[in-house]
């Protein structure tokens, strides 16, 4: 007998197993899943059998979730908007841009509800060559894109792409500015947090990253001891080793993406979970429970 037979048999068996799962996947799609949950179950089964990687599943799930979200749910709230006043001097504008590190800014008149336009940081580059003499901020403003709080995020993303916008100001029912939304905020709902070179300056640990004054991205595998030290909390590590274990107990089941649980002043939203465990959380400090 040839020595090649065992390896050939193993190879054929693996190929047949992969084909069978591929056939199941194709068959499942050909019979048209009747619900979002059925479709996700098929996709996660494919990941369990190594036809898709977990990152691809997360992106697919994120893209599906975006269609059910509204602008108010993912916007940067009014209190955290960095705006530039129309009457600022060129030096003041440059200082604010340097300190905040953003690429786009709402420019306002008397208050945040009086939006005059959007300033792109790159439009200030000519100041480096021409100086600040005769500088007129109004002459370089771009039109502001204003949308209602109830705008669906998937529709807004399409408008961003079609009209080449990157930022929208969100209007509440009373006609005031309630928040701000960028194309990056939407993409992060799909693919997860996007870091750039300025993020290296943020306070970071291996498991916890601060993204605003009250928001953090937390890996579910963060040890409870590290979590307690970072947030000055007192979660017990007698029954669980990780913050994901605490959340599993709180939910009472394996949660899905975007499920929320609140423990004291901390609200946890699941950013990514598969059919085995929680992977990534967004933590918001919201104050004491009522």
Q: Is residue 99 part of a domain?
A: yes
What pLDDT does 109 receive?
92
Among residues 190, 207, 239, the one where a domain terminates is 190
Q: For residue 226, give the CATH number of its domain.
A: 3.30.465.10
What pLDDT does 1 receive?
47
Based on the domain organization, do 178 and 255 belong to the same domain? no
Q: Is residue 91 part of a domain?
A: yes
Rounded CA separation 152/60 (Å): 18
Based on the domain organization, do 88 and 135 belong to the same domain? yes
Based on the domain organization, do 34 and 78 belong to the same domain? no
What are the E-state strand segments in 37-142? 76-77, 84-85, 104-108, 115-120
Based on the domain organization, do 60 and 88 belong to the same domain? no
Based on the domain organization, do 31 and 91 belong to the same domain? no
Q: Which residues of 73-107 are buried (b: 16+ CB within 10 A; e: fewer)?
A: ebbbebeebebbbbeeebeebbebbeeeeebbbbb
List the structure tokens of 85: 């006043």
The parent domain of residue 106 ranges over: 72-190
Among residues 190, 221, 248, the one where a domain terminates is 190
Q: Is residue 108 part of a domain?
A: yes
* Torsion sign, CA atoms 180, 182, 184, 187: positive
Q: For residue 143, give the CATH number of its domain.
A: 3.10.580.10
Rounded CA separation 226/206 (Å): 10
Q: Is residue 271 part of a domain?
A: yes
What pLDDT does 116 receive?
94
CA distances from 132 to 55, 105, 140, 259 (A): 47, 19, 13, 50
Rounded CA separation 282/258 (Å): 9
What pLDDT does 28 receive?
53
Q: Is residue 290 part of a domain?
A: no
Based on the domain organization, do 96 and 53 belong to the same domain? no
Q: Is residue 82 part of a domain?
A: yes
Based on the domain organization, do 144 and 249 belong to the same domain? no
| Mean pLDDT of successive 10-residue stretches along the chain, which has 290 residues | 50 54 58 70 74 73 79 86 89 83 90 92 78 79 92 90 89 89 84 56 62 86 91 89 92 88 93 79 76
Rounded CA separation 227/234 (Å): 9
How many domains does the chain divide into?
3
What does the pLDDT look like over 85-108, one tens digit per residue? 998 888 888 888 887 888 899 999
Based on the domain organization, do 142 and 157 belong to the same domain? yes
Based on the domain organization, do 85 and 157 belong to the same domain? yes
105 pairs with which residues across the strands?
119
Based on the domain organization, do 61 and 104 belong to the same domain? no
Based on the domain organization, do 235 and 185 belong to the same domain? no
What pLDDT does 211 receive?
78
Based on the domain organization, do 237 and 150 belong to the same domain? no
Q: Determine if residue 259 is left, alpha or beta; phi over 0 gives left, psi from -120 to 50 gives alpha, anything else beta.
A: beta
Among residues 190, 215, 248, the one where a domain terminates is 190
What pLDDT does 204 receive?
42
First to last CA, the chain: 77
């Amino acid at each position: 007998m040839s020595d090649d037979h065992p390896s050939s048999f193993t190879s054929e068996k693996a190929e047949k197993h992969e084909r069978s799962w591929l056939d199941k996947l194709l068959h499942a799609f050909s019979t048209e899943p009747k619900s979002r949950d059925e479709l996700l179950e098929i996709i996660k089964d494919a990941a369990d059998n190594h036809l898709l990687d977990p990152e691809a599943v997360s992106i697919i799930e994120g893209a599906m979730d975006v269609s059910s979200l509204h602008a108010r749910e993912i916007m940067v709230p009014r209190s955290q908007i960095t705006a530039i006043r129309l009457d600022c001097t060129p030096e003041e504008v440059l200082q604010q841009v340097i300190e905040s590190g953003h690429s786009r800014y709402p420019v306002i008149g008397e208050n945040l509800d009086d939006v005059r336009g959007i300033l792109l940081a790159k439009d200030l580059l000519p100041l480096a060559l021409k100086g600040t003499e005769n500088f007129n901020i109004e002459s370089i403003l771009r039109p502001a894109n204003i949308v209602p709080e109830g705008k669906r995020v998937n529709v807004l993303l399409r408008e961003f792409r079609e009209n080449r916008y990157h930022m929208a100001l969100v209007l509440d029912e009373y006609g005031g500015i309630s928040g701000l939304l960028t194309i990056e905020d939407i993409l992060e709902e799909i693919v997860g947090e996007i870091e750039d070179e300025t993020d290296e300056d943020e306070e970071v640990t291996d498991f916890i990253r601060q993204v605003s004054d009250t928001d953090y991205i937390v890996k579910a595998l963060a040890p409870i001891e590290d979590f307690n030290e970072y947030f000055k909390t007192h979660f017990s590590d007698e029954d669980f080793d990780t913050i994901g274990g605490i959340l599993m107990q709180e939910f009472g089941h394996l949660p899905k993406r975007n499920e929320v649980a609140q423990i004291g002043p901390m609200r946890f939203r699941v950013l990514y979970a598969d059919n085995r465990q929680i992977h990534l959380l967004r933590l918001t400090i919201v104050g004491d429970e009522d």
